[in-house]
Amino acid sequence: MDMFIKQRIKAIKKGDQSAFADIVEMYKDKIYQLCYRMLGNRHEAEDAAQEAFIRAYVNIHTYDPTMKFSSWLYRIATNLSIDRIRKKKPDVYLDAEVSGTDGLTMYSQLADEGASPEDALESLELQQTVQEAILKLPEKYRTVIVLKYIDELSLQEISDILNLPIGTVKTRIHRGREALRKHLGHL
């Protein structure tokens, strides 16, 4: 796995684009997921994730092999998402309110273990509520919560990605969790 990535990176550094397609294929879901939960909008997430990969390709020479490649990629995507959040006009949040349900239909919900329509609706609403709660978090808490719970990364990896001490990462996760609890704890 690591060998495979190293090989691909070598080829990319020589300018072989087809080697990069393998990298994109490998990480697209994780990176998209991160962007989606950070930005709360399918279209924007797709755009941001694509830009993240393009930036990684262009800046591949700055990649430091002592760092995990995935961490480097996550760092690019995280910084890009934060930039976009900062540039966003507040009114875009109106759009984000329904975005938690993007791509989820009643049918896809029903297909899950034959859940009753009531359950499906409930879980659809829940999806929306959770996404809204994540989007309400200030960006520094949102970042760590998404990396930890959506992309399922370890505290050490998050600390590498954000270039922050583990203690700071923990504090942010704690605060993020408390903030989420206020929205979700009573459900």
Partner 1 sequence: MPCSEKIVQWMHDYFDGDIQKEEEQQLRSHIQQCEACREHFYALKKTVAFVENVSHMTPSDDFVKKVMYNLPREKRRVRWKRWFTHHPFLTAASLFILLSTSSLWAVWQEDNEFSFSKQEHLIVQNHTVIVPEGKVVEGDIVVRNGNIKIEGEVHGNVTVINGHKYLASAGEVTGQIEEVNEVFDWIWYNVKRVGYNIAKTLTK
Give residues in contact with partner 1 (CB under 8 A).
14-18, 20-21, 24-25, 28-29, 32-33, 36-37, 42, 45-46, 49-50, 53-54, 57-58, 102-104, 126-127, 130-131, 134, 145, 149-150, 155, 170, 173-174, 177-178, 180-181, 184-187
CB 9 within 8 A of CB 26: no
Report the candidate in 36, 34, 6 with the shortest Cα–Cα distance to residue 22: 6
Q: Which is nearer to partner 1, 89 or 149 (CB)?
A: 149
Write down the least CB distance from residue 15 to partner 1, Å. 4
Q: Which is nearer to partner 1, 58 or 94 (CB)?
A: 58
Write down the least CB distance from residue 23 to partner 1, Å. 10
Write down the least CB distance from residue 124 to partner 1, Å. 10
Write down the least CB distance from residue 35 to partner 1, Å. 9
Token couple for 5: 């990535």
40 sits in the region (left: phi over 0; alpha: psi -120 to 50; else beta) called left
Q: Which is nearer to partner 1, 24 or 92 (CB)?
A: 24
Q: Which is nearer to partner 1, 37 or 85 (CB)?
A: 37
CB 184 within 8 A of CB 129: yes
Q: Which is nearer to partner 1, 4 or 57 (CB)?
A: 57
- What is the chain's alpha carbon radius of gyration, rounded to the nearest angstrom? 18
Q: How far apart are CA 124 and CA 133, in angstroms?
A: 14
Report the candidate in 172, 8, 179, 15 with the shortest Cα–Cα distance to residue 78: 172
